[in-house]
Amino acid sequence: MFGDWYNWLIEVFGIVLTGISIKCMDDLLDAEYDQCVGRQTLAGKLGKAILPYALLVLAIGIFVAKEIALVLFLASYAIGMGHDLREKMPTGLPGWGEGLAALVFGMLLAGPIPMIWGLMIIGAVQLLDDLVDIYKDTQSGQRNSAVRLGVVETTLLAVICFLFAVLLDAKDSVLVLLATPLVHMILELMGGDK
């Protein structure tokens, strides 16, 4: 019994580290937008220096919670590319191409079911984040999914994604749901994510 709790705590630790890394990298990419709307983030505070820290935290997260951390990172990458489907990325590929490449790598490295689970749970977390940010995003002209689809539709989609994720892997879905507010609290304590 104690062994299960210990393993779950270690997995939550890895998920939290991975979440911090994902959030810091996302905030680095959104630094100009966040600055325009007056949002303080750790990436805004540290600038480009956040990148090596984010990579270090990701590496530790993957070491601690091997498969789940990798799946969460690649799913986040794939979903993140979905916002700029046609925009050319530095690789020369359009956003959808890079997202598809992340999906394929994830399926090859972890398997199709874990990768589909990752897309569903990260999709649910992203949709919930869009609901939380709807006021600021509406004020700034940013068109997140809650602004584009509507609050009710986005809420239903988040619930569907979460339920599908639970059907695929109930334990890890709950662990990600528990880890998500921890990521935000830790980043806020570090002086960002306000």
> Is residue 194 one of the residues assigned to a domain?
no
| pLDDT band at residue 193 using 50, 70 and 90 as cut-offs | low
> Is residue 12 one of the residues assigned to a domain?
yes
Number of independent structural domains in the chain: 1
pLDDT by residue (tens digit) across 78-122? 998 776 677 888 888 888 888 999 999 999 999 999 999 999 999
User: Between 34 and 179, where is the model more confident?
Assistant: 179
Domain of residue 50, residue span: 2-189
pLDDT by residue (tens digit) across 27-73? 888 777 766 666 777 877 888 888 999 999 999 999 999 899 999 99
> Is residue 152 one of the residues assigned to a domain?
yes
Residue 12 phi, psi dihedral angles, 5° rounding: -60, -40
Helix, strand or coil for residue 6? helix
131 contacts 139 by C-beta, under 8 angstroms: no
Nearest Cα to Cα of residue 149 among 170, 134, 167: 134
Kindly state the percentage of the chain with pLDDT values over 70: 89
Between the alpha carbon of residue 68 and those of residues 63, 124, 146, 186, the distances in Å are 10, 16, 27, 20
What pLDDT, on the 0 to 100 scale, is given for residue 147? 78
> Is residue 154 one of the residues assigned to a domain?
yes
> Is residue 170 one of the residues assigned to a domain?
yes
> Is residue 106 one of the residues assigned to a domain?
yes
User: Between 137 and 146, where is the model more confident?
Assistant: 146
> Is residue 57 one of the residues assigned to a domain?
yes
What pLDDT, on the 0 to 100 scale, is given for residue 6? 87
> Is residue 146 one of the residues assigned to a domain?
yes
Q: Which residues of 17-42 are buried (b: 16+ CB within 10 A; e: fewer)?
A: bbbbbbbbbbbbebbeebeeeebebb
